[in-house]
Amino acid sequence: MSHNRSVLWLFLLPGTLLYLALFMVPTLYGLFYSFTDWDGISPSYQLVGLNNYAKTLHNIVFQKALWNNTKFMLAVVIAQTVISLALALLLVKNKKINVFLRALYFFPTILSSVAVGLIWSFMYDPSLGLINTLLKEIGLGAYGQNWIGGVKIALYAIAGVQVWAHAGQMMIVFVAGLHAIPEELYEAARIDGGNRFQIFRKVTWPLLAPSATIVIAYTTIQSFKAFDLIFTMTDGGPNYATEILTTYIYHTAFANYSFGMASAGSVLFLILLSVLTILQFKALRADRVSY
């Protein structure tokens, strides 16, 4: 028996070694460099203690990036959750047309974020883009609207692209959650005289809490890691209007050659994501829901 257990532990060894080599070791190195002034090039560096963290927290660009990321997260989480839930409710039955539409709405998820960013950059083009052309044809909006070049609107224009790309993916999570709800509960609610809204509020939504937790937590992480989409479309501009934490870390490391500061920003970023995820799980209390 002990020999069999030893063999089973050996199966875990390759994955554990890969995890240590590709995740834990770089993470520990990043944590160490956050206490140094390393520029990413020089073979030497000096320990600076918590100086990098203090500078990062007082950095105006970091503060701007954090505020942008907060607005971006709220816009994406609210819009994506509502849209994906609405699509799931409409397409929950396994009819042929519903299955086809699910696949159609899911399709943008398989595209790379860089490809999505390039496609929507062309669509947002102020002169030749499809968006402005359609608005002009139906008499809405001024021709030449610069969607990703305007300081006030650029962040929300990219948030719309993020929602377009991932709402279908989150729809599938909600569809799975809806299929797990026993039909008997709906029948009992109808017998008791409940209308559609009451049934949704009293039956569907409470029992969708585990799915909603996954969707909101995953969407939050997505919105904080939208580096490739923003880098492709605006690179954090104009005037830092779309700068988020990941683009700030990238620019600090590879444009300003301050890997120590970038590492400190990465550690703060990790702490922020961890705190947000824990708070979301506690707020939704998904573990208290039972079928």
- Contact partners, residue 163, CB within 8 Å, separation at least 6: 76, 79, 80, 83
Average pLDDT of the chain, as a whole number: 90
Residue 189 is predicted with a pLDDT of 87
Mean pLDDT of 166-182: 95
Residue 8 is predicted with a pLDDT of 77
Residue 289 predicted with pLDDT over 60: no
Residue 184 predicted with pLDDT over 60: yes
pLDDT top residue among 253 and 138: 253
Residue 170: count of CB within 10 angstroms of its CB: 27
List % helix, strand, coil for the chain (3-state, nearest 5): 75, 0, 25
Mean pLDDT of 263-285: 86
Residue 259: count of CB within 10 angstroms of its CB: 24
Q: What is the pTM of this model?
A: 0.88
* Residue 1 pLDDT level (bands cut at 50, 70, 90): low
* 8 Å CB contact between 45 and 271: no
113-148 pLDDT, tens digit each: 999 999 999 999 988 888 988 888 887 765 568 899
Tokens of 229: 């989409």
Residue 245 is predicted with a pLDDT of 96
27-76 pLDDT, tens digit each: 999 999 999 999 988 888 999 999 999 999 999 999 999 999 999 999 99
Domain annotation for the chain: domains and CATH numbers: 56-288 (1.10.3720.10)
